[in-house]
Amino acid sequence: MSQNEKSTTIKRRSVIKGILGTGAAVTMAPLALNLTAKDAQAAARALPQQWDETVDVLIIGSGFAGLAAAAEAAATGAKTVILEKMPSYGGNSIINGGVYASWDDELHLREKLKLGEDSPAQHTQDTLKGGDFYGDPALVKILADGAADALNWMMDKGGCTVRPALTRAGGHTAYRTHTSTEGVGRGYTEPLRKIALAQGAEIRLGVEVTWIWRENATGPVLGVEIKKGRRVSNIKVSRALVLASGGFSRDIKMRREYNPSVVPEINCTNHPGATGEMIRYAQAIGADTLQLCFIQLYPFAEPETGVLDKPAVYPFNGVGYGLVYISKEGKRFVNELERRDVCSQAQINLGEKPTYSIFNEAMIVKMGGAQEDVDKGLERGRFIKADSIEELAGKLKIPAAALVKTVEEHNQYLKKGSDPDFNKPITDKMIPLEKGPFYAVAQWPAVHHTMGGLRINPSAQVIDIWGKVIPKLYAAGEVTGGIHGSNRLGSNAIPDCVVFGRIAGRNAAKV
């Protein structure tokens, strides 16, 4: 830590301690915490004289983590309410690519499909390595250990179904990525919502949280201020508050302050509500944060809009079966099994968008795809189809001779089991691009996930800047940091959210 960083940290701690120590529900200076002028004005107010409502467990956010937390909290008999600021439930989760990393499942797909060995320990190691070992090993182990049980729970209690395929995604050393039957995150949010509602949880839409109430630096969280329409009111929590509000990919100012290299011109896959205010409000009552500079680009978003649609998931799912990434010059430019940050940077270094993923019909079902998805993608112009590589090159307007040469060389690499160009690990599950029809999909990086956030412990309790638990405050999902490190491996988001959401919900109900 530099002298300047030490000075900033000491100053922040001193300011928070001094302000919270007064007994008023106030926060630190807006400049140091990235709070808006409106936030700072709110911080100067005294605690509510009376509460408009009291609930046992209050959850902010209705994505994977929030729904999982609600299901577990409500199962204990606690009065459980989810607040969602958007007009519909689900947040980023419902538009997620529908991929879930787990070493096993109750269907035992990996074993049935003869896709090799895997284990929670291997998943843990991959995740730690994929994030340059910035992740907390204890938290990563919880994610990997709990992934299978959480998936089975959604299947058994919520009716979740997955396609009969497993993929090996970039950064993973095993075929462990499951795909929901729907091919999007809704395939998990709907089962989670079903479980939560069946247990008696309530979801309220269009409710914006505008503050977290806490009396002093040692006391518990008391509740939140909310706004619905023009009405402002306060909800008291008798047991605990759970933050499951997601990240801040849509807050350009916050992104730039923590990572100036993520310029505003880069598209974003996230929904409009991913604005990070709950992180700032938690900071204002003393919560610690970590690794907020780690912001991930999704390498395969739709090039013009940044949308994460179904075709944008094929480049991610297909690499374990032989799909290749091609530049506009008709050449490979990266090891396709590399992690997302490496693939994104390789594209940016090319300097000209888009790049393309190329696969054939034999790969579709194996990679967890569906012909129906491809047909719809063709209708929308997202997939390009051809009977030969030469014809495909013509449709993409890239040099045919270069593309043919690249594909033929890659086919030989798969047969020989060695990739001298990019040292990609070759497996016997990879299919040479010899038989058509062939398909291409355009891709380009877009802001996708913020790995940093609130510091939590293995019980999903939020930790303050002095290393102590903030009583009655829990967090799970993308609002937290310290799990994925510098780079989140694809398909780790859902197990992270669901596993820690369940932990947060259970523990919040026990308070």
What pTM, to 2 d.p., does this model score? 0.92
Which listed residue (340, 382, 502, 506) is catalytic?
A: 340
Give the pLDDT mean for 413-429: 97
As a whole number, the mean pLDDT across the chain is 93
Q: What pLDDT score was predicted for residue 30? A: 36
Q: 491 with 507, same domain?
A: yes
Query: Do residues 372 and 264 share a domain?
Result: no
- Give the pLDDT band of residue 452 (cuts 50, 70, 90): very high
Identify whether 204 is a catalytic site residue.
Answer: no
Query: Domain boundary at 446, 478, 498, which?
Result: 446
Same domain as 148, residue 251: yes
| C-beta of residue 87 within 8 angstroms of C-beta of residue 71 | no
Clarify whether residues 431 and 472 are in a common domain: no
Whether residues 429 and 467 share a domain: the answer is: no
pLDDT value at 9 more than 60: no
Per-residue model confidence (pLDDT) at position 36: 59
pLDDT at 3 over 70: no
Residue 424 forms part of a structural domain = yes
In the chain, the percentage of residues whose pLDDT exceeds 70 is 91
Tell which residue, 462, 456, 466, has the closest CA to residue 217.
Answer: 466
Q: Is the residue at 2 inside a domain?
A: no
Give residue-wise pLDDT tens across range 108-117: 999 999 999 9
Q: Residue 384: give the domain boundaries.
A: 300-446
Q: Is 214 a member of any domain? A: no
CATH number of the CATH domain containing 503: 3.50.50.60
pLDDT of res. 102: 98
Are 470 and 400 members of one domain? no
Asked if the model's pLDDT at residue 386 lies above 90, the reply is yes
Is the same domain home to 195 and 67? yes
What pLDDT score does 34 carry?
53
Report pLDDT for 45.
72
**Where would I find the beta strands (DSSP E) of 36-170?**
53-60, 80-84, 99-101
Per-residue pLDDT band at 17 (split at 50, 70, 90): very low
| CB neighbour burial string for 463-496, b if at least 16 within 10 angstroms, e if fewer | bbbeeeebebbbbbbbbbbbbbbbbbbbbbbbbb
Looking at the domain assignment, is residue 218 inside a domain? no
435 and 463 fall within a common domain: no
